[in-house]
Structure 1
Amino acid sequence: MSLQTEPIGSIPRPPALLAGIADHAAGRIGHDTLDALYDDAVRDTITTFEALGSPVVTDGEQRKPSFATYPLVGLDGLAPDGAVIPFADGHTRQLPRLTAGPFRYATRSDSYLRAARRHASVPVKQSVIAPSALSLLYPQNGIHGYDREAFLDDLVDEAEADIRGALDGGAHTVQVDFTEGRLSIKLDPSKGVLDSFVALNNRVLDRFTPQERARIGVHTCPGGDQDSTHSADVDYTELLPSLFALRAGAFYVQLASEPDPERVLAAIAAHVRPDQRVFVGVTDPIDPIVETPEQVRDRVLRAAEHIPPDRLGTCDDCGFAPFGDDVSTSRDIAWAKIRARIEGTALAAEQLGA
């Protein structure tokens, strides 16, 4: 038998691209030069994925400023003082604040997909940000003449268009990044915020047919930025029942970095629906130690004791550089971990087939 394996998304940007981004911001190079650097990085990323034998590739999010804020590139009506996300090591990330409506995406994911597919000879996966994450752009004190319900209606329309554009553009799968799910429990232990997030995301997912939802997956992790997380201290089993209430066909579940994976796998088995596939994380992007294929194999075999192999796949716990300026993990280490995931998944598939 074979087991599906997919990357989550981001790969650390090469030094030449990072330097070019800085040079462009400082006015030392033009847009055309920067665009050529982006294209080189995408080409190299996809070429390396394919050389490692990855059956599905991504563009490594080389062109995105971050996994969360790409729809805002070029958008007016934003202020810099939005919601703050604290990480365990003390650093923070801050979202912008919406100052005027109507809300529209300025950049859609299908533009990244088109650029990636020019270089790929295997299926390309496209990640998108969950509407629940972008709902945090709306300020608590509201916007004059543009109430929250009108904003959410616009957000649902835009999120649907973003996903549909990727599906229609030929994406193998579309992955909805939902890292704020676990964080919401930390911010609101009553789970009222989590319930509102799930309901909002389902408003979008319900606009797709069952056949389309089979190509839509949801990724969850406790955040991963500069070798730190924002919600790993939240009990995973508090999230999982709500996670599988999302009406998606696949789930990409961080697991390699969990201290008690057996407990998490038991919870997954108890709540996953029969029509849903689970990709378990078998490599930890924020751990500098590279997993061996044998370690990956054993993690897959442990997961197969809880999840039927025909509904099991593997992935990385998270992207390796979800924010464009994160250089805490080298590109070489990311590729070594991806190689271990691919080879270890093949070892597990061989053993399960036997």
Structure 2
Amino acid sequence: MPIPTEPIGSIPRPLELLAAPPSELSAATGRAVRETIQRLEETGSPVVTDGEQAKPNFATYPIAGLSSLSPDGAVIPYADGHQRQLPRLTEGPFRYTHRAVDYLKTAQSQASVPVKQAVIAPSMLSLLYPPEGIDGYPVKAFLDDLASEAEADIRACLDAGAHVVQLDFTEARLSLKLDPSGSLLDNFITLNNQVLERFSSEERARVGVQSSPGADQDSTHSLDVDYADLLPKLLQLRAGAFYLQMASESDPDRALSIIAEHLPADARVFIGVIDPIDPAVETPEQVRDRVLTAARHLPADRLGTCDDSGFAPYADDTSTSRETAFAKIAARIQGTALAAKELGL
């Protein structure tokens, strides 16, 4: 059996889409989705995504257009000094305005191979609730509503036949920077597990969790946080797969040994073998060697490969070019195949 390999999600949008006037935006988005899926299939990718061509960004797509938001929410600081800011919820009840299943169905109509769908983890959206609270809408009521909305987002994608539903949990490592005590991470894990535990074991086998130190404008938000402080808790999530950044990790052997010690018995781990913010395109041989390093720690039948993160999670479509992204994806697929051959798979 070959080593499975999957994309994470976002791919820079084509110039035609970026330049499209409002009257032509829908048609240009449709063409971008078709081209993205076609090019992913041309690389030999056994699983594809829509490249998040239609999402405003990976984090806040479910609340686009929600009226009860103020722009002055939680700030996500990056190492190069730039920031991303979430909105702040001003009143309840909390409801999604958009569902990931709509992106999934559009992609499925264009694809000839299985399609995975990324959804935002409820832990990220929990940051919308202001520390000072909301009159008449206590935090418990908000978290109950959030969990129900997140469950519905995941379940709709599973019911529509997604190959896997991937929870984007990039805030996991960041939480340890914001709160070194680990209490914030514990709260995130608890909330995400409350949602995951609403699914059967068979359903959870098709739900994965992706975690990275961020990748935006060629910078990260938490690469300086020790992976050893995150991985044991992250791997407590009741998911069937984990997609973990590793290509940009300074000491991959140490991180892989921790993963091997804590990986749940019924889960597969997809190791990042491509660094999306490194301008150099990895060679298939470099990817092969990263896979073989992982295989020294993890059983080959529990191993997969992926990119460290999406290439344009906040719709930053220019820091990394579209051509570079596809070249890196092709290298991942070719290098994974080389490693599988060397391992006799």
- Normalized against structure 2, the TM-score is what? 0.99
**Residue 199 of structure 1 pairs with residue 190 of structure 2:** yes
Cα displacement string for residues 154-181 of structure 1 (whole angstroms, at most 9, x for unaligned residues): 0000000000011011100000000000
Deviation for aligned residue 1:325: 3.5
**Residue 319 of structure 1 pairs with residue 341 of structure 2:** no
Equivalent position amino acid for 1:137 in 2: L
Aligned to 2:134: 143
Q: Secondary structure, in 3 states, of the residue corresponding to 1:53?
A: coil
Deviation for aligned residue 1:18: 1.0
Aligned to 2:53: 62
Aligned to 2:161: 170
Q: Is the 8 A contact 2:122 2:191 kept in 1?
A: yes
Q: Secondary structure, in 3 states, of the residue corresponding to 1:5?
A: coil
Q: Secondary structure, in 3 states, of the residue corresponding to 1:280?
A: strand
Q: Secondary structure, in 3 states, of the residue corresponding to 1:219?
A: strand
Structure 2 counterparts to residues 264-343 of structure 1, below 5 A: 264-343=255-334
**Residue 154 of structure 1 pairs with residue 145 of structure 2:** yes
CA distance in 1, matches of 2:334, 2:316: 29
Q: Is the 8 A contact 1:10 1:62 kept in 2?
A: yes
Comparing 320-329 with 179-188, which one deviates more in the overlay? 320-329
Aligned to 1:115: 106
CA distance in 2, matches of 1:289, 1:276: 32
> Following TM superposition, where does structure 1 have runs of at least 4 consecutive aligned residues deviating by more than 2 angstroms?
none
Aligned to 2:252: 261
Structure 2 counterparts to residues 8-87 of structure 1, below 5 A: 8-20=8-20, 23-24=21-22, 30=23, 33-87=24-78
**Residue 213 of structure 1 pairs with residue 185 of structure 2:** no
What are the ranges of 5 or more consecutive residues in structure 1 without an aligned counterpart? 25-29
Deviation for aligned residue 1:223: 0.6
Q: Secondary structure, in 3 states, of the residue corresponding to 1:156?
A: helix
**Residue 5 of structure 1 pairs with residue 11 of structure 2:** no
CA distance in 1, matches of 2:249, 2:65: 38
Q: Is the 8 A contact 1:129 1:177 kept in 2?
A: yes
CA distance in 1, matches of 2:146, 2:18: 31
Q: Is the 8 A contact 1:285 1:319 kept in 2?
A: yes
CA distance in 2, matches of 1:238, 1:52: 36
Aligned to 1:93: 84
Q: Is the 8 A contact 1:296 1:341 kept in 2?
A: yes
Aligned to 1:129: 120
Structure 2 counterparts to residues 225-244 of structure 1, below 5 A: 225-244=216-235
The counterpart of 2:240, out of the listed 240, 243, 249, is: 249
Equivalent position amino acid for 1:48 in 2: R
Cα displacement string for residues 202-252 of structure 1 (whole angstroms, at most 9, x for unaligned residues): 000000000000000000000110000000000011000000100000000
Q: Is the 8 A contact 1:63 1:112 kept in 2?
A: yes
Equivalent pairs, count: 345
Equivalent position amino acid for 2:267 in 1: Q
Q: Secondary structure, in 3 states, of the residue corresponding to 2:127?
A: helix
The counterpart of 1:189, out of the listed 146, 162, 180, is: 180
Deviation for aligned residue 1:76: 1.3
Cα displacement string for residues 100-140 of structure 1 (whole angstroms, at most 9, x for unaligned residues): 10000000100100111110000000000000000000001
CA distance in 2, matches of 1:166, 1:327: 30
CA distance in 2, matches of 1:189, 1:137: 21
Equivalent position amino acid for 1:216 in 2: V
Q: Is the 8 A contact 2:70 2:87 kept in 1?
A: yes
Q: Is the 8 A contact 1:84 1:95 kept in 2?
A: yes
Deviation for aligned residue 1:328: 0.3
CA distance in 1, matches of 2:127, 2:213: 17
Q: Is the 8 A contact 2:291 2:339 kept in 1?
A: yes
Cα displacement string for residues 47-106 of structure 1 (whole angstroms, at most 9, x for unaligned residues): 000011000000000000110010011211001110111100000000000011000000
Q: Is the 8 A contact 1:74 1:107 kept in 2?
A: no
CA distance in 2, matches of 1:327, 1:191: 35
Deviation for aligned residue 1:326: 3.8
RMSD in angstroms over aligned alpha carbons? 0.7
Equivalent position amino acid for 1:36 in 2: A
Q: Is the 8 A contact 1:226 1:326 kept in 2?
A: no
Q: Secondary structure, in 3 states, of the residue corresponding to 1:137?
A: coil
Q: Is the 8 A contact 2:217 2:316 kept in 1?
A: no
